[in-house]
Structure formats: structure tokens, C-alpha cells
A and B are shown apart, each in its own frame.
Chain A
Amino acid sequence: MLKPLQGRGRINADATVTRPVYTSQKGVVLSQALYPNYSDYDPYHMAASSIDTAIRNVVAAGGTIDHLALLDNFCWCSAHDPIRLGQLKRAARACYDVAVAFETPFISGKDSMFNDFKGFDENGKPVMISISPTLLISAIGVIPDVSKSVSLDVKLAGDLVYVLGETHENPWAPVDAKQNVKLYRAFYKLAARDLIASAISVHHGGLAIAFARMSLGGLLGLDINLPQGILWNENQGRIVTTVAPGNKNKFENGLKNIPYACYGTVVDSNRLTIKENNTSILINESLSDMIKAYRKPFENY
């Protein structure tokens, strides 16, 4: 019901919704997440982020966190190296902590170890190049009614653009599962009441990429004004949504005790405009240029 490419712009989605039993309205929501480059900082944070993002991707599509399971896919390095094993231990600890906090069980998984290249450099000296330890998390959940699925493409000019969840100054703000769960449950209820016009989970590239993808999805411009310095932060626990102006009050009333902010509107233009503090212009791009760049890797296909 929600496919891998969504919207007018056919943008890659973070989750899909499939309806396997034709006589039922229920659907299966499937998503995934990974952050290989976070392991240089801390494999615990890498794993925690992958789990939170995979879960949030399901939630942003309309899935419920209360009927959701996880799969782990460890892509790791030599199992003989104590440092690598230590990193693995930290990642496993995060798996326990976060899965228990969200009450989302790990039902299966796999691992691929020894992803190290051992060879010689151009001077003939032995060299070992290892991947960044990576945990790929898949999340599989149930949505009770597929007609409540939410796609990432902005729908109509005039819709309000909200960022749900708090954007932190610290780029490595730890994953706060207890806080995030509140947002994920509230979002599910709002989606079930048809109050969400579009939604996208904020992950790689932060708000900048989230805005870009949903704008390209709907091929409608956005007029955004942000506070200082939050455009690229990748901290967890945030969903960008658009809401019909007529639903503003019902929507905001559904977000008690959850940080949120309205940062702009969907506009009937070919431009993505993001300002900071209403003064400096951070992003001012035409959607036509952006979609060309987005599709460039496959332009000969």
C-alpha cells in the first residue's frame, strides 16, 4: 500500500506497507536503519541510533510501536581482535537497553564478521582496512488499518510544517527512548485520526534532508524558518510532519508534553527555501535542480 518510491517525485521511502491478507485491513510495515559512520564515535550510540531510527521509520508511516519487532544484522570486523569485540559488546549492550526501553523484541538476526581487507599498499607494506562496525536494524510492525498509512510526500500548498521532538545542540545527544516513546505513541494516534497529511523520519542529513525529501516527494516547495544552528543535526527522536491548516488545533492538542514546533508552510512554488532566524538564507534551491541531482546516479537507466 506504501511502496518504496513515494509521491510525485518518486522519492525513496524509509518504510513500506504491505497488505498480505486480502480479506483484512491490516498491513505489515517494514523499515530499516543503519549508521556506519557513528561507530568511530561510539558503537553504543551507533546501535542505539539504528534501533531508534528503524522504529521511528515504522511510526512515521503510521505503524504502532506496540506491535513491532526488530531484526539485527551485525556487519563487523575480526572476531579475534579484542578492540573489535569490545565494540561489539557496546553495541550489544545498546541493543538490550533500547529494545527493552521500547519493549520491541529482537526476533531474529544475523551477522557477518571479518569484514577486513588484508593486503598490501602501493609500497608493498602489509595493510588492513576494516569496515566501520555497522548494525543494520530492520523493524517489522503491524498497522491495524492500511488506509491510515502515511507517505512522505507533502500534499497540498498551505499545509503547516511541524518538527515533532526536540532538536538538540549536541550532535551526539544520547538516544532518549523513554522520551521518544511518548512521541511515537502520540504520533500513531494522530495518524489514526487522519490528522497527518505527510510525515518523514529525521535521520541522515537532519532536517535539511528531511525537508528536501518530503518537498521533492510532493514536488511542492517549502517556506521554512529555523532557529540558529539546527539544520543538519542528526539527533534521534524527531519526525517532520505536514498538517492541513484546518486540523491545526486538533493536531497540537494531541501533542501534550511533547516538544514540537511549526517552522513553516508548504508552498505552491518550485523552491525549497530554508532561512535561519528569519534573516540568513541557508537553503534556496529549485526543486527541478534538486530532483535532477537526486536522480543523477541512475540517469542513464
Chain B
Amino acid sequence: MNCEEETQFGFRIAGAIADIIHINDCIDRPRILTRYQILAIPGGFSYGDDTGAGNAFANKLKNHLWEKLLKFASGDRLIIAICNGFQILVNTGLLTGLHTPRGTKDIALLQNESSRLIDRWTDLKNFSLSPWLRGINTFSLPIGHGEGRLYAKPETLALMKKNNMIALRYVKGDICNYQQLPVNPTGTLDNIAGITDKTGKIFGLMPHPERALFFTQLPYWTYLKEVYTRHGKTIPKEGPGLQIFKNAVTYFSS
């Protein structure tokens, strides 16, 4: 897909054993999902975004892995879907998972308002009690996508809010202040950057936590380095995205 190596690395430095498995291998090995506790659908350009980002991959999941996937999701398991992964899960209907029959797509991630792929950092606020976001209030992550503008009918949005499914919203923070950037990069509905299902265990987001594992990935780390050094503060090694991976590991190890 593209981002699988960084995503695997994020889980590994958080303390998990993480394997990259091609979807075809998942399909060929029916019991493979039962071996794992966390499923991550990484970012990238599956099928080259042909016929719309995440459409073909979602069809593959629905047509060849659906029962296994539902079984996995029904257990005490965690699923994260990042960027293209989010687009894929939205297309399968697993997010939101609010409407029956299962697999009904009820929201969409549309083309950005600017009709361009936006590549920048964003500021985010956590509104969720999801285990994925434990201990996170506000933080910054990078985005890089062309189709991230969430759309939902008013009834669906109301239902999502009622069930505490809005996880992350774009807000004004350090990045917007540092680089004079607009809060909402894509015109997404209600500034929504990430959502969960009703249980909070399936988490989809457009920003890339795996691209924010290290301090030196922040766009203003050289500035922070000067400020910290001159005030005698230690320069951090970790980036803001690592906490998400740590939270997943903590969920199963505590």
C-alpha cells in the first residue's frame, strides 16, 4: 500500500509483534486473523486510487474476507484504519457500522474542497473515549490525501454524535499558529478528522500517526530544539503519533 513499514515500526517500538501480511495471503490463509489482536489497515494508494480511493480494496475485503473480518471485529480486538485504510473501511461500511445490514456504507470521504492532495501538518483534538486515544487531548499529526472530506447526512451525523463516535477534530493549535495554516485543511464536515465505531475499538483517521513517531518529524523541530536547548530542557526523542500505537499495546497488556 505504501505506509505499511512505518506503521509496523510504530507498533514494534510500542512493544508489539507486528507482521505485514498481503491481503491475498490473508484470503489464502483463512485462519490467519485469529492469530492477532490488532488489525491495521495502513495508508497509501491501494490499487492506485483507481475507481476512487479505497474502493477496489474494500470490494476485495467484502467479497473474500468479510466473514473473517466480522468475526475479528466482534471479538475483543482493536482495528485502526489510517488514511487510505480509513477510506477502505468507510467503503466497507464497518465504519460507521450504524446501519443494517452490516456493510452498509453510510458516510463518505469525498475529494478535498480544493480538489488537491493536501500535504501538511494539522492540529487535532480528541473527543473520544476510545482505547486508541487514551491520554490524548490535543496533538499534531501530518496529513497527505486528496479524498478526506467527510460527508454524512444530518441524521447519520446526529447518530454518530449520540454514540460518541466523533474521535478527532481539526482545531487551531501549534501547527496552525506556526505556519499560519487554516484549521480545516479539506472542508471536512464538522472538522472531523477521525471517527470510531460504537465500541470505540474500530478507529479510522485521515492523519498519519506513523509519520509522527519521532520528534525530528515535526515541521518545527529545529525551532523547538533551539528553544529547549537555550532553556536547558531535554529534547524529546518521540513524536506525537507514537502514543496511539502505545495505547493499542497497553490495551492488551494491562
Instruction: Write the residues of chain A forming the contact surface with B, with a CB cutoff of 8 angstroms.
Output: 1-3, 7-8, 10, 19, 22, 146-147, 149-151, 153, 155-156, 194, 197-198, 218, 244, 246, 301
Task: Determine how close the nearest CB of chain A comes to the CB of B242; give it in whole angstroms.
Answer: 12
Nearest 6 pairs of A and B residues by beta carbon? A151-B222, A155-B226, A1-B216, A22-B9, A146-B216, A197-B226
B226 A244 Cβ-Cβ under 8 A: yes
* B180 at the binding interface (Cβ < 8 Å): yes
Distance of A240 from chain B, by nearest CB (Å): 16
> Do A8 and B225 contact each other (CB < 8 Å), given the known contacts A19-B216, A149-B216, A301-B116?
no
Contacts of A198 in B (CB 8 A): 222
Docked pose: A151 CA to B221 CA in angstroms: 10
- The interface bits of chain B over 230-248 (1 if a CB of A lies within 8 angstroms of the residue's CB, else 0) are 1000010000000000000
Q: Which of B5, B6, B223 is close to A153, meaning CB atoms less than 8 Å apart?
A: B223
Say whether chain A's binding surface is mostly helix, strand, loop, or mixed: loop
Bound Cα distance A7, B178 (Å): 8
Question: What is the 8 Å Cβ interface bit string for chain B, positions 79-100, against chain A (1 contact, 0 not)?
Answer: 0000000000000000000000
When A8-B179, A8-B180, A147-B235 are in contact, do A3 and B229 touch as well, CB less than 8 Å?
Answer: no
With a cutoff of 8 Å between Cβ atoms, the chain B residues found around residue A153 in the complex are 222-223
Question: What are 24 A-B pairs with beta-carbon distances under 8 A?
Answer: A1-B217, A2-B222, A7-B223, A8-B179, A8-B180, A8-B223, A19-B214, A22-B9, A22-B213, A147-B215, A147-B216, A147-B225, A149-B222, A150-B222, A153-B222, A153-B223, A155-B223, A194-B229, A197-B226, A198-B222, A218-B223, A244-B226, A244-B230, A246-B230
B227 interface residue per 8 A CB criterion:
yes
A5 CB to nearest B CB, Å: 8
Partner of A10 from the list B9, B179, B227 (CB cut-off 8 Å) is B179
CB distance from A201 to the nearest CB of B (A): 16
B49-81 to A contact mask, C-beta < 8 Å, 1/0: 000000000000000000000000000000000
Q: List residues of chain B with CB within 8 A of the CB of A244.
A: 226, 230
Task: Give bound CA distance, A147 to B215, whole Å.
Answer: 9
The interface size bin for chain B is 20 to 34
Which residues of chain B come closer than 8 Å to A22, judged between CB atoms?
5-6, 9, 213
* B180 CB to nearest chain A CB (Å): 7
A236–B40 CA distance with the chains assembled, in angstroms: 50
Q: Whole-angstrom distance from the CB of B13 to the nearest CB of chain A?
A: 8
The answer to whether B219 has its CB under 8 Å from any CB of chain A is: yes
Chain B residues with CB below 8 A from A194, complex form: 225, 229
**Are A156 and B216 interface neighbours, CB within 8 A?**
no
Q: Mark B15-43, 1 if CB is under 8 A from A, else 0.
A: 00000000000000000000000000000
- In the complex, A146 Cα to B220 Cα: how many Å? 14
Complex CA gap A7/B229 in Å reads 18
Q: Contacts of A7 on B, CB cut-off 8 Å?
A: 223
What residue in chain A is nearest B9 (Cβ atoms)? A22
Given contacts A2-B222, A147-B216, A153-B223, 6 further A-B contacts (CB under 8 A): A7-B223, A22-B213, A149-B216, A156-B226, A197-B226, A301-B116
